[in-house]
Amino acid sequence: MSYKTVYKEAEAEQVIQRSRFITHVSPVDSYEEAQAYVAMIKEEYKDATHNVPAVVIGENQELQWMSDDGEPQGTSGPPILRMLVEEGLTNLVVVVTRYFGGVKLGTGGLVRAYSGSAKLGLEAAGICTVTDGYVMEYLLDYSHLAKINNAEQQGDFHIIHTEYMDKVKVTIGCKTEAEGLVIKTFNDITSGTCELLSKKNEKISEKVVDSN
């Protein structure tokens, strides 16, 4: 089963009517991890007027939580959470920090400011599809690396990390159904000289997609 989440931790900022809005976004795997992230942001910005969190967890968005953190009820946390759910996102946490600038935004202005700030954070983080798959580590000769990089463009696997040693260690991710094809590709390119160091069942980021 696959789901959409943010690709990486990110930060975004904007100023609206002299109020400073700072958004932090991060992928998480559990509610406890999300709460720890919220606590970290609140500690870092403990002098802020508000730190508004929203969390969605579970492949079917089973757990949803937010807080207005002192803003008028329904003007900050709920619109952020609603946007995350409507975008089909899960396993992420968003915290929008506000430093009040002296100008009241009104109910509609607050909703637009918080949801817009959250959207900027999502755009900075990027959106990816996470699916069941394998993470594999291969050891191969430098002479084969260019062809491996070219083969990645076919979309059957993506390179997560490349480590340059006496030989090249390439860590890749692929969908479950592509496992056999990927192993064959590596064997064909290297004429069977590559070494499969490890293969683990993991959730993998299949691709980055536009968040709009």
Of 108, 125, 142, the position where a domain reaches its end is 125
- The CATH number linked to 154 is 3.30.70.240
Q: Are residues 97 and 199 in the same domain?
A: no
Q: Which two tokens stand for residue 127?
A: 């959106």
Contact 159, 146 (CB under 8 A): no
Same domain, 39 and 136: no
Q: Which of 103, 125, 147 is the last residue of a domain?
A: 125
Handedness of CA 38, 41, 45, 46 (dihedral sign): positive
Pure H helices in 126-196:
145-152, 179-189
Q: What pLDDT was estimated at residue 207?
A: 54
**Tokens 């059957």 sit on residue:** 156
Beta partners for residue 159, in sequence order? 172
The token duo for 169 is 């260690």
Number of folded domains in the chain? 2
- Looking up residue 58, the CATH number of its domain turns out to be 3.30.230.30
Same-domain check for residues 188 and 117:
no
Would you give the end-to-end CA distance of the chain in angstroms? 22
- DSSP character for 59? T
DSSP-assigned letter for residue 76? S
CB atoms within 10 A of CB 142: 10
User: Same domain for 23 and 8?
Assistant: yes
Same structural domain, 91 and 170: no
pLDDT by 10-residue block (mean), the chain, 212 residues: 91 97 96 98 98 96 97 98 97 98 96 98 93 94 96 91 96 92 97 96 70 42
Q: Which of 106, 125, 144 is the last residue of a domain?
A: 125
pLDDT value for 206: 67
**23 token code pair:** 């958004």
Query: Which pLDDT score, from 0 to 100, does residue 212 have?
Result: 43
Q: Which domain holds residue 13?
A: 3-125
